[in-house]
Amino acid sequence: MKLFIDTGSTAEVEEIAAWGVLSGATTNPSLLAKEEGDPGDIIRRICELVDGPTSAEVVSDDARGMVQEGRALARLHEHIVVKTPFSKDGLAACNELSEDGIRVNMTLVFSANQALLAAEAGATYISCFMGRLDDISVDSEAVVAEIVSALRPSGTQSQVLAASLRHPGHVIQAAQLGCEVATAPAKVLKAMLDHPLTTAGIERFKADWETRPEFAEWLRGLVEQQAVTAS
């Protein structure tokens, strides 16, 4: 499963892209509105940092407006994926944009029926919001499982994208259910780093090294020697 970051912050993307774990990004008008600067510049910078699919969302609620905005967004950068909301107009816009060769992320999908329609309309990504389902006491894991199982037998090329991930457990569930992509905010990606045994192990290794400082000095010398050789 590929990991995307869900943000409008170039600083967050730059920090986590340095880990080498990101394959793409998702944004939306609400996330971009929190940031200073031109939205187009922010989106282009995120595209460059993740060097992969980056969703940018339309704001119109009619098909014609979505198509016009989608085409304009797609011209910002080659990595742009146009995000459209699920609706009759969203499906029509998705179909027209996909026929133009523009990738579409159909968002706000909450059922297998909706996912099947999005796939037929040509969506590249179908986003199911796990956290929002949990908020209304609907089993998000069951819904995502139903979406994946409904799409796979048809051989569709649409990828299931787990979104609105509130904690690392959601990421694990998405992977286990067979989602091709999970998009998570920076705080969730950072939380995935943590485990008490990892922290304790690092502290123990550090304590062991500090009892024999000559080992650290030897390693620094090795690095310097190889740097001289390479130059």
Q: Known catalytic residues?
A: 83
Q: Which residues pair with 6 in a beta bridge?
A: 26
CA distance 112 to 20: 33
The answer to whether 97 touches 64, Cβ cutoff 8 Å, is: no
Could you identify the residue written with the tokens 């499906």? 91
Strand 2-6 relative to strand 104-109, pairing: unpaired
Question: What does the block give as tokens for 32?
Answer: 């971009």
The answer to whether 186 touches 31, Cβ cutoff 8 Å, is: no
CA distance 98 to 118: 11
**Which DSSP string corresponds to 142-155?**
HHHHHHHHHHGGGT
CA distance 4 to 163: 10
Residue type, 4: F
